[in-house]
Amino acid sequence: MEKHIITISREYGSGGRYVGELLAKELDIPFYDKEIIHMAAEKSGMSAGFIEKSDENIPNTFLHNLKYSAYSSYDTIAYYDTPVTDKVFLAQSAVIKELASQGSCVIVGRCAGYILRNDPDLVTVFVRGKLEDRIRQAVENYDLSPQKAADGIRRIDKSRINYYKYYTSRQWGNIEHYDLIINTSFTGIEGAVAVIKTMLLERNKM
């Protein structure tokens, strides 16, 4: 089997995590999402609870040199001078690079596509959906009112937009930064997985 590192960015409520889980299962390769939090905790000495609270959130203070965190090595001595939230990003980045070096896998979120942008085996996917479908999914899965679901979607998507821009200087969801953008309102979860698998198959022929 060819090596594939598939990273999935996703709008909240689009089913991106479920797409990643099913894809990894069908390809028989590891899947990483929240697992990265515990691995980063072991690596950094920070608590998993603290990392989870800081996950995909930007610091309250502005860094004058934006690329400092994105390009610095977790192992450099400069790490100790960075804001705490940046330490979380660096710790997770180190874990993501290590996982990608071990073999094929699916990684969800955490700017993984950007962190691994120079990996020749990388395939970047963005999963989106119609707002009404995302609201419906949030209502069904989390027992929320439609209004609370809509508010949650706007809040979480805004957080992801800001986090991605802060650490990459890129626009989250911009087609230029992804190999494939899938709308699950049209494909569904299984259809999205089928599309990605077809892309991987065709890529192997090149």
Q: What is the DSSP letter of 74?
A: T
In the prediction, which pLDDT does 41 show?
83
Average pLDDT, the chain: 85
Tell me how far apart the terminal alpha carbons of the chain are, to the nearest angstrom: 14
Domains and CATH numbers, the chain: 5-200 (3.40.50.300)
Q: How many helices (H) does the chain have, and how many strands (E)?
A: 9, 5
pTM (predicted TM-score):
0.85
Q: What is the DSSP letter of 127?
A: E
Q: Measure Cα distances from 61 to 17, 47, 183, 191 in Å.
A: 30, 22, 35, 42
Residue 99, Cα to own-chain centre: how many angstroms? 14
Instruction: Specify the amino acid at residue 82.
Output: T
Tokens of 204: 């192997």
CA distance 87 to 46: 9
pLDDT digits (tens, 9 = 90+) for 7-60: 999 999 999 999 999 999 999 999 999 899 888 888 777 777 767 766 666 554
* Average pLDDT value for residue range 198-205: 87
Res. 80: pLDDT tops 60: no
